[in-house]
Structure 1
Amino acid sequence: MPAATPRGIVTEEDRFAEEVVMEPLVPGVYSEVGRLRTVLVHRPGVALERLTPENRADFLFDDVVWVERAAAEHDAFVELLRSRDVEVLYLQQMLADALEASAEARDEAVSSAVSSYTVGLSLVSELRSYLRQLDPARLAEVLVGGLLGSEIEGVDLASLRRRSLGAVLADPDSFVLPPLPNTIFTRDSSAWLYGGVVLPPLFWAARRMEVVLVSLIYRFHPRFVPAGFRFWYPPSGDTARFPLEDFSQGSSLEGGDVMPIGNGTVLIGLGERSTGRMVEHVASALFEAGEAERVIVCRMTQQRAYMHLDTVLTFVDHDAVTIFPPVIDDMQVFSVRPGSRPDEFEVAEETGVLEACADALGVARVRTIETGGDRFQSAREQWDDANNVVALEPGVVVAYSKNVHTNAKLRAAGIEVLEIEGSELGKGRGGGHCMTCPIVRDAVR
């Protein structure tokens, strides 16, 4: 039995750690619905326990979460994935492995989390020293779950307050390092597109450290280091290309807006959290490598209810999607193709996203399954992530059981729907698509 966590509980993630096989991965995601082979997830834990009615909006949650129930729902989700022969990787365990494998990863993690911009000049040296002496598992837990002043052990706080304004102002129960509760939505902090990955600069400050942590996994974990893949953004795979203090330059992208739909095409939404400037960076890298020949860009209204493209559209078969028509019908859609130079593109407006996808995929039309129920039920199920399903193979998806009307429509369209409970998991506004970052997924033949 593995060692207990600091809370004395052996979790599902601990049990998973015993099962990890350190064979090199060959990452690559070649469609949205081809057979899913390997996926990255994060089990609800300490970070979500630190949400309160007072701070939940700061961390982008609409409500506090019953964490034990959310963890149980997530465990059931993972067991379903495994029952369909999907390899499940836990983000926090993979992070701990990377920190243990590489001193460079530990240094980068600590330096990114603790800087003059995150804790103030006078606390940098003391906090970095404290974090560096933590074992990899505890350091990974702190980086994801946050750190309170009262949890810093072995530091003379009285002495520190005599030379640090930050220490004087800090309450013992305030965050020295904030938690990252949105880590549960692993889709956003990285996006695998064909034979490479995007490490996107996320829109909200509350989430930006997530990208640094997942980059450490891809760059230093023993299962990734030997594998051959490319970083589409940043091209070097080095987070120094976008240090945390420079994230506010107006260019952002999130994985929930990015879908490699196959046939050398990527579908990207521009909404609340993704910008055209970042689309150009990603498109240029893909075109130059010959990995993609077309990017379909969907400009959406910026609203919380549909913050990402995958909240209003997800693929459920090679020629079928779920959609929320009020948003889909109002989209401006453009196809971006390579221009005569790497810094130029050919841009053409499309009649609609469904028509553009059908053309790209070589099908006569894309079948649509609209959000179910009357206008009240449709609005409710859209809010509850009815369109945020994840495909395990063509025609087989995982969906929240509470979205009964949409699930019925999916089944009527010939889609196999595997249901999970999501009363607590969905409180951060995300379903199975948001909670999974595919690492290995087949093309659709």
Structure 2
Amino acid sequence: MTELGVHSEVGRLRKVMVHRPELSLRRLTPTNHDGLLFDDVLWVERAQLEHDRFVAKMRDRGVEVFLLRDLLTETLAASETARQRLVELTASEFTVGVSMVDEVRSVLSAMPPETLARHLIGGLTVAESGLDLGRLRSQSVIAAAIDDESMFVLPPLPNTLFTRDSSCWIYGGVSINPMYWPARRLEAYNVAAIYRYHPMFAESDFEFWYPELGDDDRFNVVDFGRASLEGGDVQPIGNGTVLIGMSERSQARMIEQVARALFAKGGAERIMAVVMTKDRAHMHLDTVFTMLDRDAVTVYPRVMDNVRAISLRPGVNGAEFHVTEEKSFLSAVADALAVPELRVIETGGDAYQQEREQWDDGNNVVALEPGVVVAYERNTYTIAKMREAGIEVVTIEGFELGKGRGGGHCMTCPLQRDPL
């Protein structure tokens, strides 16, 4: 049986899921990149090279790296149920229209697994679909309105690059996350299929913290309304504690949902909600705070000096939760980790350079083991401070990857990580 679970933020990383830049990023243009949540278009070939080197450095350190698209292809090949359910969810009356749903589902169902996986992530244009618009225009207002065969039947999902967000492993289970922006919500369907039907996960014993799975052989994905959660806000730091940022993209409503599931099955003992200001520059907790070692963290002080920390524990006397507001975030984290005091490495440089390096993901580093992290080489001031504090920093290029506003932490979904 495969052993999966993420029991800390800095214990030795054993298995991780990443997504290599591909078709979806080739779809970015100066016209559409804002709607797809990117600040710029990427030189995809260069981004692939940078990502390959990032993966190579993790593998050199003994990390087993899985590519999301490979896992999705293998899932579709292994399970007809997964294929059928994904096609139904992706091409629904709400995504492609009442008049087109049967036609689009037929096109997708006929694709071999590798091709279907490519288009579920990369998007599908009218030209690529082979739909007979001449025939359909007499029965579909959607088809009648199409005047350019480069229009999308299915949208691309370029933010799949940031595998941290659509799902996150918390101790002995996983949360498949309801994403804040519509441009990202279809990502959750793909990872749900992988976790439910891929042989590696089917052979492993783990919990689904969210959403709850039904007894039938279908994964339950619903309209989450205004309650959203993204994995960049979630950090299982160890000792039964989970930090969850209340950020631009994660709300208290979902924090309570996940906390209830964790507490009900003894998956965690304490959830610390970190109340942040809402801003594109620090969209998730991990853009301003990550762990470097058992007792060391990196923070962006302009944001983290002003956060509030609220701890949730299992309730007593019939209450769902017992809630306390902490005196300070960092002291609460030290308490949770059972260390006397945290070593705090702030973003490097003067006020201007700090702002630049936070924007370039200077604080968004991923630990390979205690005291060893991966960082973008461009954040020279912050890296220097980490090294002065005794942290080993493995550097990677980020000239193109960095344009997506996500570093090593964002680009990795740990599947197995040791406890502290």
TM-score by length of 2: 0.97
Unaligned runs of 5+ residues in structure 1 are 1-23
Which whole-Å CA distance do the structure 2 matches of 1:97 and 1:25 have between them?
A: 17
Tell me the residue number matched to 2:55: 78
Q: Does 1:148 align with 2:125?
A: yes
Choose from 22, 27, 30 the match for 2:7: 30
Query: Residue 236 of structure 1: CA displacement?
Result: 1.6
Alignment of 1:245-284 (within 5 A): 246-247=223-224, 249-284=225-260
Q: Does 1:186 align with 2:163?
A: yes
Tell me the residue number matched to 1:340: 316
Question: Using a 3 Å threshold, how does the CA distance of structure 1 residues 342 and 293 change in structure 2: closer, same or farther?
Answer: farther
Q: Does 1:97 align with 2:52?
A: no
Query: Residue 106 of structure 1: CA displacement?
Result: 0.3
Provide the secondary structure at the position in 1 that maps to 2:163: coil
Number of residues paired by the alignment?
417
Q: Does 1:123 align with 2:96?
A: no
Query: Residue 239 of structure 1: CA displacement?
Result: 7.8
Tell me the residue number matched to 2:388: 412
Query: Residue 241 of structure 1: CA displacement?
Result: 4.3
Tell me the residue number matched to 2:293: 317
Q: What letter corresponds to residue 91 of structure 2 in structure 1? A: V
Which whole-Å CA distance do the structure 2 matches of 1:121 and 1:342 have between them?
A: 46
Which whole-Å CA distance do the structure 2 matches of 1:209 and 1:426 have between them?
A: 23
Query: Residue 45 of structure 1: CA displacement?
Result: 0.6
CA deviation map 1:284-311 (0-9, x unaligned): 1111111211011100000000000000
CA deviation map 1:266-324 (0-9, x unaligned): 00000100000101111111111112110111000000000000000000001110000
The alignment yields a C-alpha RMSD, in angstroms, of: 1.2
- Structure 1 residue ranges (4+ consecutive) displaced by more than 3 angstroms after TM superposition: 237-242
Provide the secondary structure at the position in 1 that maps to 2:374: strand
Using the TM superposition, name which of 303-312 and 340-349 deviates more: 340-349
Q: What letter corresponds to residue 161 of structure 1 in structure 2? A: R
Which whole-Å CA distance do the structure 2 matches of 1:348 and 1:176 have between them?
A: 48
Provide the secondary structure at the position in 2 that maps to 1:321: strand
Q: Indicate conservation of the 8 Å contact 2:189/2:221, yes or no.
A: no
Tell me the residue number matched to 1:307: 283
Q: Indicate conservation of the 8 Å contact 2:193/2:219, yes or no.
A: no
Q: Does 1:58 align with 2:35?
A: yes
Tell me the residue number matched to 2:360: 384
Query: Residue 162 of structure 1: CA displacement?
Result: 1.3
Q: Indicate conservation of the 8 Å contact 2:123/2:155, yes or no.
A: yes
CA deviation map 1:70-106 (0-9, x unaligned): 0000000000000000000000010010001001100
Choose from 407, 410, 414 the match for 1:431: 407
Tell me the residue number matched to 1:400: 376
Which whole-Å CA distance do the structure 2 matches of 1:250 and 1:365 have between them?
A: 37
Identical pairs, percent:
58
Provide the secondary structure at the position in 2 that maps to 1:25: coil
Which whole-Å CA distance do the structure 2 matches of 1:240 and 1:39 have between them?
A: 22
Query: Residue 240 of structure 1: CA displacement?
Result: 6.1
Query: Residue 61 of structure 1: CA displacement?
Result: 0.2
Provide the secondary structure at the position in 2 that maps to 1:224: helix
Which whole-Å CA distance do the structure 2 matches of 1:264 and 1:360 have between them?
A: 8
Tell me the residue number matched to 1:361: 337
Provide the secondary structure at the position in 1 that maps to 2:399: coil
Alignment of 1:222-237 (within 5 A): 222-236=199-213
Q: Indicate conservation of the 8 Å contact 2:81/2:218, yes or no.
A: no
Query: Residue 242 of structure 1: CA displacement?
Result: 3.9
Q: What letter corresponds to residue 173 of structure 1 in structure 2? A: S
Which whole-Å CA distance do the structure 2 matches of 1:185 and 1:394 have between them?
A: 23
Question: Using a 3 Å threshold, how does the CA distance of structure 1 residues 344 and 117 change in structure 2: closer, same or farther?
Answer: same
Query: Residue 341 of structure 1: CA displacement?
Result: 6.4
Which whole-Å CA distance do the structure 2 matches of 1:109 and 1:179 have between them?
A: 15
CA deviation map 1:194-228 (0-9, x unaligned): 10000110100000011110011111001110110
Query: Residue 394 of structure 1: CA displacement?
Result: 0.1
Choose from 127, 133, 140 the match for 1:164: 140
Query: Residue 173 of structure 1: CA displacement?
Result: 0.8
Provide the secondary structure at the position in 2 that maps to 1:137: helix
Unaligned runs of 5+ residues in structure 2 are none
Question: Using a 3 Å threshold, how does the CA distance of structure 1 residues 305 and 341 change in structure 2: closer, same or farther?
Answer: farther
Question: Using a 3 Å threshold, how does the CA distance of structure 1 residues 319 and 346 change in structure 2: closer, same or farther?
Answer: same
Q: Does 1:288 align with 2:264?
A: yes
Alignment of 1:196-211 (within 5 A): 196-211=173-188
Provide the secondary structure at the position in 2 that maps to 1:60: coil
Tell me the residue number matched to 1:14: none
Q: What letter corresponds to residue 167 of structure 1 in structure 2? A: A
Which whole-Å CA distance do the structure 1 matches of 2:359 and 2:60 have between them?
A: 28
Which whole-Å CA distance do the structure 1 matches of 2:68 and 2:61 have between them?
A: 20
Provide the secondary structure at the position in 1 that maps to 2:96: coil
